[in-house]
C-alpha cells in the first residue's frame, strides 16, 4: 500500500482510538483526576506535612512528578489493553486484519491512541496538582521526551497483554499484580537513596524507577539514577516491546486461527 | 487476464488436529457470480478466512487477481470486500463512523469516503440510521451495514458468507437485486449460503464443498442438468381415487394433494394422461423442492462416502 494510504489508515486508527476514550471520558479521564486529588490530600497535605523534606524539596513537590507519571503509565497501558481486547472480543479487529493495513500501522495506531490518553491524563493530573503545589519546571524538553517514551512503552505493553488475553480478566492481571507493585516501588513516594543498599540494588532492576526519576529530573532537576541510563532503559524497552508486538501480530497470535 | 480468485492445493489443519481443508482447487473468473456451497463444517468459512487472511493456511496457493497472498498480501487484500457470517463491527459506534473507519483502513480519503457512505447507505436503506449506534439496528439492517462496509473501498471481488441468514423474504429479495446490480457493474461475487434457491437464482457457477473436499465444481446449468428426477406436487379436486393412484411413485399427502416423481426421460403430459384416466382433476401444480437442494443432498452424501473411504484406506 502506498505510503499516503498508510498515513490515512494510521489517522483512521488514531482517530478511532482517541474518539473512543473521549466518548467515555467519565470512565477514562475523570477517575485519574479524582484518584490523584486524593493522593495529594492524603499523602501530600496530611501525611506529607509530617514527613518534611525529601531530597531537598517539600514532600508534596517531590511526589508530584511520580504521581503524574503513575497516571501516564496506568492510562496508556489500560487504554490499549482494553481497546484492543474489546476489538478482539467483538471481532471488529477483523476490519483491520482484512484490510491492506501493514502491521506497523496497526501497532502505531493503537500505541498512538494509548499515548494520547496517557499524555492527556498526565496533563489533567498536572492541572489538578497546580491546586496543591507550585509546580516548577527544570527542563520542559526532558518532561516531554520522558512522558512520550514512557507512554509509548506502556502502550506497547498493553497491546501485547491484549494480544495474549483470552478474557477481560486477563487484561487486569498484569496491571494488578505487576504494574501497580512496580509503580509503588518505583520511587514515586520516596527517593531510593533512602533504602538500604541491598534494596537500592533491587530497585535498579525496576524499569519504572528510571522513568519516574527522569520525569522528576524534568521538574525538579534531581534524579536517583543517571538520565542516560533512564533513556537507555526506555529505548531498550520500546525496541523490545515493539519487536515482540510486531512478531505476534505478523504470526497472528491470538488473532488468526 | 488473471482469475479473480485462484486456489490450488489449499490445506488447513487446525491446532487440535482437525483437517478442515484437504487440497481445495478452485478458480473463479472475473465478473463471475459464484456460489460456494456446503453443509455446516464443510470448510466454506475456513476457505474464506484463508482468502481474507483471517485464517493461516497449512499449505497451498491463493491468488487474488493474480496477486499471491504469500508474496503480495496487501495488494491481494485491496481487491477483496468481505461480508462475514457473524456481525463483527463495533456495536457502540455509529454506523457512519464504522463505514468511514473501514474506508480509512483501505486508504480512502475522507471526502471520498463520505460520498460513498452516503451512496451505499441510501441504496441499502440505512441513511436515516447513519448516526445511530450499530447495536440499535435490527438483524437485517446489520447485515446490510456489513455489505455497505465491504463496499467502501470499491472492491473488485465481494465475498459474502451467508449474507441473508435470518433476513426476511422481502429484504432478502431486495438484497438479491442489489447484489445482481453490483455483479452487472463488474464486481465478481462469491457467495456462500444455506438458501439453495438463492444460489440457483443468483449464481452462474458453483462449487460444492464437503468435509474439506470440492465434490462438484461446474456451471449452474450443467449441474441442474444432472438432476435425473424432479418431484411435482399436484393440487387436485378431493377424490377417493387419489389413494389408488400409484404411477410415477405417487404419494397421496391428503385427499387432494399428490406428489409424483418424474424422470427426465418422461414427460409431464404422461402424468396428466394418467390422472385423467383416474378421473382426477388438476387445480394447480408446482415443484416440490428446489432442484438444487436435491442435487446438493446427493452430492454431499457422495462426499461423505468418499471421506469414509479415505478413512477406511488409512
Q: Measured between beta carbons, which residues in chain A are less than 8 angstroms from residue B86?
A: 91
The pLDDT value given to residue B308: 42
Interface test with B, best of A21, A92, A252, A253 (most B CBs within 10 A): A92
Domain locations along chain B: 5-224, 226-291
Which CATH code is given to the segment(s) B226-291?
A: 3.30.70
Q: Give the pLDDT confidence of A141-181 residue by residue, as tens digits.
A: 999 999 999 999 999 999 999 999 988 889 989 888 998 88
The answer to whether B86 contacts A91, with C-beta atoms less than 8 Å apart, is yes
Q: Give the pLDDT confidence of A100-109 residue by residue, as tens digits.
A: 999 999 999 9
Give the residue from A145, A155, A160 showing the smallest Cα distance to A116.
A155
Q: Give the pLDDT confidence of B34-93 residue by residue, as tens digits.
A: 999 888 888 999 999 999 999 999 999 999 999 999 999 999 999 999 999 899 999 999
Distances (CA, A) of B151 to A21, A64, A83, B100: 28, 51, 25, 11
More confident residue, A57 or A48: A57
With contact defined as beta carbons under 8 Å apart, do B54 and B73 qualify? no
Nearest to B109 among A8, A95, A102 (CB): A8
* Burial of residue B261, with CB atoms counted within 10 A of its CB: 0-12 exposed, 13-18 middle, 19 or more buried: middle
Phi, psi of B296 (to 5 degrees): -60, -50
Q: Measured between beta carbons, which residues in chain A are less than 8 angstroms from residue B52?
A: 98
Domain locations along chain A: 3-251
Q: How far apart are CA B57 and CA B13, in angstroms?
A: 8
The pLDDT value given to residue B306: 45
Q: How far apart are CA B242 and CA B239, in angstroms?
A: 6
Give the residue from A249, A250, A257, A88 showing the smallest Cα distance to B20.
A257
Q: Give the pLDDT confidence of B18-41 residue by residue, as tens digits.
A: 999 999 999 999 999 999 988 888
Q: Average the pLDDT over A211-217 and give the result.
A: 94
Q: Average the pLDDT over A95-118 and give the result.
A: 96
Helical (H) or strand (E) element with B271: helix B268-277
- Res. A2: pLDDT tops 60: no
The answer to whether A4 contacts B107, with C-beta atoms less than 8 Å apart, is yes
Residue pairs between chains A and B whose CB atoms are closer than 8 Å: 85
More confident residue, A110 or B247: A110
Cell of A164: 495474549
ipTM above 0.95, yes or no: no
The pLDDT value given to residue B301: 61
The pLDDT value given to residue B294: 67
Interface test with A, best of B104, B117, B155 (most A CBs within 10 A): B104
Which CATH code is given to the segment(s) B5-224?
A: 3.40.50.300
Phi, psi of A252 (to 5 degrees): 75, 25
Cell of B203: 449464481
Q: Measured between beta carbons, which residues in chain B are less than 8 angstroms from residue A112?
A: none
Write the DSSP symbol of residue B257.
Answer: E
Contact residues for A29 (Cβ-Cβ < 8 A; gap 6+): A21, A22, A120, A121, A124
How confident is chain B (314 residues) per 10-residue block, as mean pLDDT? 93 92 94 91 92 94 95 95 93 94 96 96 94 92 94 96 84 90 95 83 91 89 75 86 82 85 82 87 81 69 47 36
Contact residues for B217 (Cβ-Cβ < 8 A; gap 6+): B25, B26, B205, B206, B207, B208
Q: Give the pLDDT confidence of A130-140 residue by residue, as tens digits.
A: 988 888 899 99
Nearest to A12 among B49, B86, B101 (CB): B101
Amino acid at each position: 500500500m502506498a505510503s499516503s494510504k498508510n498515513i490515512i489508515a494510521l489517522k483512521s486508527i488514531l482517530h478511532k482510538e482517541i474518539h473512543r476514550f473521549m466518548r467515555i471520558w467519565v470512565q477514562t479521564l475523570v477517575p485519574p483526576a479524582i484518584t490523584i486529588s486524593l493522593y495529594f490530600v492524603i499523602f501530600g497535605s496530611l501525611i506529607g506535612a509530617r514527613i518534611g523534606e525529601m531530597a531537598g524539596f517539600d514532600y508534596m513537590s517531590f511526589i508530584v512528578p511520580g504521581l503524574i507519571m503513575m497516571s501516564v503509565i496506568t492510562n496508556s497501558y489500560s487504554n490499549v489493553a482494553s481497546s484492543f481486547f474489546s476489538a478482539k472480543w467483538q471481532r471488529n479487529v477483523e476490519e483491520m486484519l482484512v484490510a491492506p493495513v501493514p502491521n506497523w500501522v496497526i501497532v502505531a495506531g493503537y500505541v498512538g491512541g494509548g499515548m494520547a490518553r496517557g499524555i492527556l491524563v498526565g496533563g489533567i493530573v498536572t492541572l489538578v496538582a497546580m491546586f496543591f503545589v507550585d509546580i516548577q519546571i527544570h527542563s520542559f524538553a526532558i518532561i516531554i521526551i520522558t512522558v512520550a517514551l514512557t507512554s509509548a512503552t506502556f502502550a506497547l505493553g498493553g497491546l501485547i497483554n491484549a494480544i495474549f488475553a483470552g478474557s477481560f480478566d486477563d487484561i487486569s492481571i498484569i496491571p494488578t499484580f505487576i504494574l501497580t507493585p512496580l509503580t509503588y516501588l518505583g520511587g514515586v513516594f520516596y527517593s531510593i537513596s533512602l533504602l538500604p543498599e541491598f534494596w537500592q540494588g533491587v530497585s535498579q532492576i525496576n524499569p519504572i524507577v528510571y522513568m519516574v526519576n527522569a520525569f522528576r529530573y524534568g521538574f525538579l532537576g534531581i534524579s536517583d539514577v543517571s538520565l542516560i541510563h533512564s533513556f537507555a532503559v526506555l529505548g531498550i524497552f520500546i525496541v523490545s516491546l515493539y519487536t515482540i508486538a510486531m512478531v505476534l501480530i505478523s504470526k497472528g497470535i491470538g488473532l488468526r486461527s | 487476464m488473471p482469475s479473480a480468485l485462484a486456489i490450488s492445493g489449499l490445506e488447513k489443519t487446525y491446532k487440535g488436529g482437525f483437517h478442515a481443508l484437504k487440497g481445495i482447487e478452485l478458480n473463479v473468473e472475473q465478473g463471475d457470480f459464484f456460489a460456494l456451497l456446503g453443509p455446516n463444517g464443510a470448510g466454506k468459512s475456513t476457505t474464506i478466512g484463508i482468502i481474507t487472511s483471517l485464517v493461516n493456511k497449512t499449505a497451498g496457493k491463493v491468488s487474488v487477481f493474480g496477486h499471491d497472498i504469500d508474496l503480495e498480501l496487501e495488494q491481494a487484500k485491496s481487491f477483496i470486500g468481505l461480508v462475514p457470517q457473524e456481525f463483527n463491527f463495533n456495536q457502540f459506534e455509529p454506523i457512519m463512523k464504522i463505514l468511514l473507519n473501514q474506508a480509512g483502513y483501505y486508504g480512502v480519503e475522507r471526502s471520498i469516503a463520505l460520498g460513498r457512505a452516503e451512496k451505499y447507505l441510501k441504496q441499502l436503506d440505512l441513511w436515516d440510521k447513519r448516526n445511530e449506534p450499530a447495536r440499535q439496528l435490527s438483524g437485517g439492517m446489520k447485515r446490510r451495514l456489513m455489505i455497505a462496509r465491504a463496499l467502501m473501498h470499491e472492491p473488485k471481488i465481494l465475498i459474502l458468507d451467508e449474507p441473508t441468514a435470518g433476513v426476511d423474504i422481502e429484504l432478502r429479495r431486495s438484497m438479491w437485486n442489489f447484489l445482481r446490480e453490483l455483479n452487472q457493474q463488474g464486481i465478481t461475487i462469491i457467495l456462500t449460503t444455506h438458501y439453495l434457491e438463492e444460489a440457483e437464482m443468483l449464481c452462474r457457477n458453483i462449487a460444492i464443498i464437503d468435509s474439506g473436499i470440492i465434490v462438484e465444481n461446474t456451471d449452474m446449468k450443467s449441474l441442474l442438468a444432472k438432476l435425473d428426477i424432479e418431484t411435482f406436487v399436484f393440487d387436485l379436486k378431493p377424490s377417493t381415487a387419489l389413494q389408488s393412484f400409484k404411477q410415477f411413485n405417487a404419494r397421496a399427502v391428503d385427499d387432494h394433494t399428490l406428489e409424483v416423481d418424474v424422470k427426465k426421460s418422461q414427460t409431464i403430459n404422461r402424468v396428466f394422461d394418467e390422472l385423467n384416466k383416474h378421473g382426477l382433476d388438476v387445480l394447480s401444480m408446482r415443484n416440490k423442492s428446489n432442484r438444487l437442494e436435491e442435487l446438493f443432498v446427493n452430492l454431499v452424501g457422495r462426499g461423505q462416502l468418499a471421506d469414509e473411504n479415505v478413512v477406511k484406506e488409512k
